[in-house]
Chains A and B, each alone.
Chain A
Amino acid sequence: MILKRILLLLTVLLFAPVDGGAADGGIVIDGSTTVGPIAKSFAAYFTGRYGVPVTVSESGSGNGAKSLINGTCDIAAMSRAMKSREIAAGATKGVSPKEHVIALDGIAIVAHPSNPVPSITKAQIAAIYQGRITRWNAVGGPNARIVVIQRESNSGTQGSFRELVMGKGVKITRDAETQASNGAVKNRVSSTPGAIGFLGLGFVDSSVKVLGVNGVMPSPATIQNGSYPVSRPLYMYTDGEPKGEVKRFIGLPETVDGKRIVEELGFIAK
């Protein structure tokens, strides 16, 4: 009797995951915290419409790439393009990442709401992040030290920021504080009078002050026409050409509903 039960249990345990996986064929997404809101809204929409479960993890663009290469996700959400090193690593594992641009995003340069500086130039931002400008009065602000806040090295936002503002290979100062997510950066900037930080545009709210760059404020219009200088595409990567449900999911940004979702979240539809 007991033996029978144990056997039954074992059978169930053995077949359950295989059965489950084959039946629902869910999509697993991993990667950028910036792309996260889009991925989650797409997932909710997709599951509601087609009944396919979608799992979204947000662990940073670098992690997304790693998961795709290691075969633990179907789609890597990334806020930067894959590095040649990652593509090479994929090749050794038989994974060939295919790039899909799903939206455009601006990186907003933010400061404490009490900061009087309206706008700074790209060169000034670069100088601040290199540690060459350390006080706000050098950019027309009060005589106070600048607390430079950046993202950790996993962050696609950090990668894009460095590439767009500072140029390739230019290093961020060692004095910069490091925070782990867009939300944490916003929290620190909103509570620190001397702080400067960068955030995906979708994360900006009234707790921080957005600085104009070269006199242009980030907005859907200025990003679409290219006049706001710190903007970038957001990506999803698949292993080779997407097939089946994954293909349908990747096609969402082209649909009317997909564009609406992207814009509602504060990003710019491509």
Chain B
Amino acid sequence: MTEEVKTDGQRSSAFVVSPQKRKMQKLAKNAGETLLLGIASFVAIIVLFIFFFVAVDAIPYFQLRGFTEFFTSTGWYPADEPGEFGALAIIYGSAMVTFGSALLAVPMGIAAAVCLSDILPFSVRQYAKPVIEMLAAIPSVAFGFFALVILAPLLQSNGGPLLMWTWWILAAPFLLLAVIVAADLLSARFAQEENRKKMALLLQSLFGLLAVLVLYVVGTKLNAIEIITGTNALNVSIILSFMALPTIVSVAEDALQSVGRELREGSYALGATRAETLLKTVLPAASSGILAAVILGIMRALGETMVVWMASGNSSHIPDPWYNYLDAVRTLTATIAGDMGEADQVTGSERYHVLFAMGLLLLVISFFSNLVSERIVVRQRKILSGQ
């Protein structure tokens, strides 16, 4: 009996914390929280500091030269006396390669993410995702070297055929799908029950012929293109899309995964096919996460420096015609990297400050796109939760 009481007492004393110990625990908790808060706010403060110091060095440029030249002129001769600081062509170049890389990377990235999350079996995904993420580990100078030494000469010597084959490989499956679907839809709409199959066959062959013609004509047009310089916007867009891919795939795949089994199974239970489930349930539910992935990927492309410095050709002009991706361009990041060397307050303050003005512009662009994406994500979440 007494023994029992004793053990009982021991047991309960294990759960009773002495006041001193409780005080220590509270102190430790507070210290831990303060530390974490400190680290988190430190990151925020760093961002603010960068903004502040870039702005401090950027504002003198606008005080010296005003806004008009920077945003409307394409003359970039910073080392001349007097210098010209027209950044319009450079801003345009940045926009061009960012848009080009997004055009390539976004569909590819989302498709790869869907494939990874919903189509490939788990055992394959386990290996495929790390391999794609490994792309992110390749240093950008290695990408730049590849672009300059391998891709640029290749585009120059075999640019036309390369474009033709890319067009064929990309367009053929889409056109095939379009032919089948269009023929099916049209025959279902206009033909009688008994003629439907014949009609579909007829339309398929007709559309198929048309598709082959389109493939062939565009292909020969592309084949005839002669790429004069391989260090151009196309080259950089291709490489930048490779660099943005791992970000997009990885983040978008996480978003798709987080949609969860319940929604998918609910959709199947209602009789939806896999394609319907993917397009009408999973993708809309994950859309905010996918958008975040796309913005992150685009920011990666916009901010990349080494590749564009090495492989864009660095001509500060707006290509002629303006959509000519086969012409050399110059971007904001490459200009900052390339001209920083000589620019110094001592040897010319405009030259120095104009680079900070470009840096500020980049910061503002990424700040606003982050803000916009944040807003869209919030709104999307509200819509999805039915508010």
Chain A interfacial positions (CB closer than 8 Å to B): 59-60, 62-63, 65-66, 69-70, 83, 85-86, 89, 92-93, 144-145, 147, 152-154, 159, 169, 171, 174-180, 184, 187-188, 191-195
Contacts and interface: CB of A to CB of B under 8 A. Distances in A.
B339 A175 contact: no
Contacts of A62: 79, 341-342, 347
Given A85-B81, A174-B317, A188 B231 contact: yes
A154 B156 contact: no
Contacts of B75: 174
24 contacts: A62-B341, A63-B341, A66-B342, A66-B344, A66-B346, A66-B347, A92-B346, A93-B346, A153-B78, A154-B339, A169-B80, A171-B77, A175-B315, A175-B328, A177-B231, A177-B313, A178-B314, A179-B314, A184-B310, A191-B152, A191-B156, A191-B230, A192-B153, A195-B229
Interface string B69-82: 00000111111110
Given A153-B79, A178-B330, 5 more contacts: A144-B228, A147-B228, A169-B80, A171-B80, A174-B89
Interface residues of B, number: 35
Question: Chain B interface secondary structure, helix, strand, loop or mixed?
Answer: loop
Nearest to A169: B80
B346 A177 contact: no
Given A69-B347, A147-B229, A171-B77, A176 B315 contact: yes
A180 B330 CA distance: 13
Contact of B315 (A69, A145, A174): A174
Interface in B64-98: 74-81, 89
Interface of B: 74-81, 89, 148-149, 152-153, 156, 228-231, 309-310, 313-317, 328, 330, 338-339, 341-342, 344, 346-348
A177 B341 contact: no
A175 B338 CA distance: 17
A182 to B, nearest CB: 15
Given A171-B80, A174-B76, A194 B342 contact: no
A174 B346 CA distance: 27
Nearest to A191: B153
Given A177-B328, A191-B152, A59 B341 contact: yes
Contacts of A60: 341-342
A153 B339 contact: yes
Nearest to B330: A178
B355 to A, nearest CB: 12
Nearest to B79: A153
Contact of B342 (A63, A147, A192, A193): A63
B67 to A, nearest CB: 21
A187 B330 CA distance: 19
Nearest to A153: B79
Nearest to B316: A174
Contact of A180 (B80, B156, B309): B309
Contacts of B149: 187, 191
Contacts of A154: 79, 338-339, 341-342
A173 to B, nearest CB: 8
A180 B341 CA distance: 11
A184 B80 CA distance: 23
Minimum-distance CB pairs A-B, first 3: A62-B342, A153-B79, A178-B314
Contacts of A179: 314
